[in-house]
Amino acid sequence: MHNDRMTRPSAPLIGLGSLLAVYLLAPIGLFCVWRLPAFGVDMAHPRLLGALATSAVAATISAAIIALLGVPLAYGLAQAQGRLAHLIGIAVQLPLALPPLISGILLIYVAGPYTPLGRLFDGHLTDSLAGIVLAQTFVAAPFLIVAARSAFARIDPELPAVAATLGHGRLARFTRIALPIAAPGIRAGILLAWLRAFGEFGATVILAYHPYSLPVYTFVQFSSTGLPATQAPVAATLIAAFIVLWLSSRRVGRRRRPHIERPEPEAPSGWGALRLDFNLHKDIGRFTLHITHRAESRHLALLGPSGAGKSLTLKILAGLIPADAGTLTANDTNIGDMTPEARSIGYVPQNSALLPDRSVWQQINLGVGARPALASYWLGRLQLDGLEHRFPDELSGGQQRRVALARALVRQPDLLLLDEPFSALDTPVRDDLRRELRYLQQDTGMATVLVTHDPEEAAQLADEILILDAGQTLQTGSRETVFQKPASACVARLLGIRNRGSGVLVSTYYIHTAGVELQVQALHLLPGTRIGWCVRAEHIHIQADGPYQAEVLDTIDVGGVFEVIVRVGEGLDLSLRAPDLGWLSAGDECRLRIPPAAIQIWEEHALQPHPN
């Protein structure tokens, strides 16, 4: 009951809406009450039936032409960008803003009897069914274009991107992906176009007075004998429009679960070794991406904050966005000029990008050349057994990610690209999927490139890590090198190292920072050099004879591990993590040991830490 109250419109809103509804329905209701019973004898009049047939046939032909030509135009306008596409989009909607009479006059300049086109048809384009179709098509086409363009624009851009990596060319992406998803909007646009064409008067009466369409016939009857003679054509128009709207309001068909015959599972035969090298440059507005990597292993993680260029890099690797310059090779073979469908790449986007009205089995077998036996194997391997008939809205977030992963693996790609595939998932689900992907990497040997902002995820699923920020490479190398020797404060921050700061070298073995002198490994730099430093929480230890006196500020139990915040001196706050620190509490005094080798040092110059 509470939910009903929350969703029910307020009384003022209902009242305002009712005013418009009454205004729209009153003329039709009054006509039906006062005039409809008297029109029966005139409904069978041959001229009326002929006009009705002319309008219906011409509107149907116009709607067919508009659908055939307008749907591709709407798709192109939805995909295109830039000023020219914007101007074309405005231009094709102009007939909506023009009075129909003006539209008819404009059409005379194109199809009038004395134009080149009119003379080509001996003047028969006007005062003919062809003229009516021309007039109706001109004024009705924008209704379909607007509706279809909006429907195409609402399609998740990742869907055609995934289809491209699954081997589908441009035409297949339109017919198999975009068209089915946009179908409801297209159907609505065709209906609006048919109704607009059926009721068109102004342009028709200018371009094609004969044969009479139903609106022209009604006008002639009204002009000759007045209102009583219009009862039958008005009633015929209302009935025809009502029938069309009623038929269109019926459900086209319920979502049917396909019959599935799963073959016996067939395990993949194994992946060959792949080495991916790239040197890429891309300018998008004021953002510049410049990234270089030479592979030493099969598994790479792109780690960085939002907006660093990670997903852009992944799309360039997949061929979904072209690089402005640079090279991209796989095992020394140039793939930079290949289309995405030719690169043998599997792509798992952030949001899974599943087709809304296709079952799990259909999703997994979407790729060109997908083998059902291999699809059956991945269903079982990724714990999707029993879900073959389900649709995306019947799956949990984790199940959707598994379907997206299975869909990419069925074609046994040479390279698997994963764009933050575990984001927005519950922690247990995310951990399970990470573990499953790690097992897949170990079992198959497939090459992967993972985009993530989680250093733990990068450590778990990559052998090499490339750290990006603002489109530039901050550090790249093996997992061990990057985690043990961050190259800057920004890298340390992105790796989740909380203990970091700035200081000044006071001697070969000491730096001064936040009022404390920290002992470090020997530095071959001049005293007075500005120094950046960091140390991992796990490398700081409580020790009775430690050289640093500290006060405990806080102790946090994070589940099996305690995090302790301490202050050394007057202002150096450090974080410690260990399973045996639960005995400490705020206000306690302790001594710390920080191994000099655990403190990573870099000279501060161009690279500055980002704000926390």
Phi then psi dihedrals of residue 180, to 5 deg: -60, -35
Q: What is the DSSP string of 238-301?
A: HHHHHHHHHHHHS-S-PPPPPP--PPPP-----PPP--EEEEEEEEETTEEEEEEEE-SSSEEE
pLDDT of residue 94: 94
pLDDT of residue 1: 47
The partner residues of 326 in beta bridges, in order of sequence, read 280
pLDDT of residue 611: 41
Q: Give the mean pLDDT of 390-400.
A: 92
CB-hemisphere CA count at 13 Å for 142?
A: 15
Count of beta carbons in the 10 Å neighbourhood of residue 429? 16
pLDDT band at 612 (very low <50, low <70, confident <90, very high): very low
- Tell me the C-alpha distance between 361 and 370, whole Å: 11
- Tell me the C-alpha distance between 374 and 365, whole Å: 9
pLDDT band at 76 (very low <50, low <70, confident <90, very high): very high
pLDDT of residue 444: 83
Is residue 7 over pLDDT 90? no
The answer to whether the beta carbons of residues 379 and 364 sit under 8 Å apart is yes
Is residue 39 over pLDDT 70? no
- Tell me the C-alpha distance between 427 and 559, whole Å: 14
Q: Give the mean pLDDT of 469-487.
A: 92
Q: Give the mean pLDDT of 527-547.
A: 92
Q: Higher model confidence: residue 74 or residue 285?
A: 74
Whole-number percent of the chain with pLDDT over 90: 61
| Amino acid, single-letter form, for residue 565 | I
Q: Give the mean pLDDT of 372-397.
A: 91
pLDDT of residue 443: 84
Model-level pTM?
A: 0.83
- Tell me the C-alpha distance between 265 and 278, whole Å: 36
Q: Give the mean pLDDT of 469-490.
A: 92
Is residue 97 over pLDDT 60? yes
Phi/psi region, residue 477 (left: phi>0; alpha: psi -120 to 50; beta: rest), is: left
pLDDT band at 275 (very low <50, low <70, confident <90, very high): confident
Is residue 521 over pLDDT 50? yes
pLDDT of residue 44: 67
pLDDT of residue 252: 59
Top-confidence range, 3-7, 246-250, 256-260, 326-330: 326-330
- Least confident window among 48-62, 231-245, 489-503: 231-245
> Cα dist. 297→293, 294, 435, 570, 584 in Å?
11, 9, 19, 46, 43
Q: Give the mean pLDDT of 574-590.
A: 91
pLDDT in tens, 179-205: 999 999 999 999 999 999 999 999 999
Candidates 295, 347, 303, 596; CA nearest to 467 is 303
Q: Give the mean pLDDT of 590-610.
A: 79
pLDDT of residue 42: 63
- Tell me the C-alpha distance between 373 and 379, whole Å: 10
Domains and CATH numbers, the chain: 21-249 (1.10.3720.10), 276-480 (3.40.50.300), 488-603 (no CATH)
pLDDT of residue 232: 85
> From the centroid of its chain, how far is CA 49?
50
Is residue 317 over pLDDT 90? yes
pLDDT of residue 609: 40
pLDDT band at 598 (very low <50, low <70, confident <90, very high): very high
Q: Is 452 helix (H, G, I), strand (E, B) or coil?
A: strand
Whole-number percent of the chain with pLDDT over 70: 94
Pairing relationship of beta strands 600-603 and 530-535 according to DSSP bridges: antiparallel
- Least confident window among 82-96, 254-268, 397-411, 415-429: 254-268
pLDDT band at 70 (very low <50, low <70, confident <90, very high): very high
pLDDT in tens, 406-425: 999 998 888 999 999 888 78
- Tell me the C-alpha distance between 416 and 378, whole Å: 15
pLDDT band at 426 (very low <50, low <70, confident <90, very high): confident
> Cα dist. 21→17, 29, 169 in Å?
6, 12, 48
Q: Give the mean pLDDT of 11-21.
A: 86
Q: Give the mean pLDDT of 534-552.
A: 93
State the burial class of residue 132 (Cβ atoms within 10 Å of its Cβ: 0-12, 13-18, 19+).
Answer: buried
**Which residues make Cβ contacts (< 8 Å) with residue 381, sequence separation at least 6?**
406, 440
pLDDT in tens, 226-250: 888 888 888 888 888 888 888 877 6
pLDDT of residue 159: 94
Count of beta carbons in the 10 Å neighbourhood of residue 75? 21
Mean pLDDT value across the chain: 89
pLDDT of residue 197: 96
Find where tokens 């990596």 sit: 165
